[in-house]
Amino acid sequence: MLPEPLLDRAGLVELGKALTPAVIDQALNLALKEPQAEEQARAAPRRIALERALAAVAVRIDRLTEAVASGAGALPALLEKLTREETRRTELTRERDALDVTSQATALFSPKLRKAIRAAAGTVRTALLEDPRGRGRSSRRSFRESTAHRSARDTAAVTTSRSRRLRGAAESG
């Protein structure tokens, strides 16, 4: 039987070899595919309802516009209804656009997250291959920095940036 430290070292070297960019990309594809699919599935029924409501509002606006143009009915009442329908159309359009922004934010989040994870995995891989025992100061430091500090900082920056974009889109929409 082989000594445990030797097995540990061999395992860490193999782990370092396994953390190739291709393996990291495959893992990220699997991990990020699910949230994007969930977001699309969650938004789809609401998007359909919004499109139907927008179509119905467009029909009512067309009818009211024709009634105003033909002079049929009381003009102030028709103009008031037309204004309400146009306001409703604006509200529905904003809500639909907000769904688009949320979907785009998920897509924008992925490349930044991928980049941060690839960088951290590359640092870990290098540390494992250079010093599988983890006894060297540079290996421990680079591992700590890549997994704790930078990952937390990058995640916070991406999350903050995403939140700002979503808030800005909702406020300007």
CB 78 within 8 A of CB 64: yes
Q: Are 68 and 79 in contact (CB under 8 A)?
A: yes
Query: Where are the domains positioned within the chain?
Result: 42-172
pLDDT in tens, the chain (173 residues): 667 777 677 777 777 777 788 888 888 777 777 777 787 788 889 999 999 999 999 999 999 999 999 987 789 999 999 999 999 999 999 999 888 777 766 665 677 777 888 888 888 878 777 765 655 555 445 545 555 544 444 554 544 554 455 455 555 55
Rounded CA-CA distance 100/14 in Å is 43
DSSP states along 79-104: HHHHHHHHHHHHHHHHHHHHHHHHHH
Rounded Cα distance, 160 and 75, in Å = 50
Amino acid in the structure at residue 19: L
Instruction: Give pTM, 2 decimals.
Output: 0.48
Sign of the Cα torsion 49, 52, 58, 64 reads: negative
Token reading at 126: 């290098």
Q: What is the C-alpha separation between 96 and 86, in angstroms, rounded?
A: 15
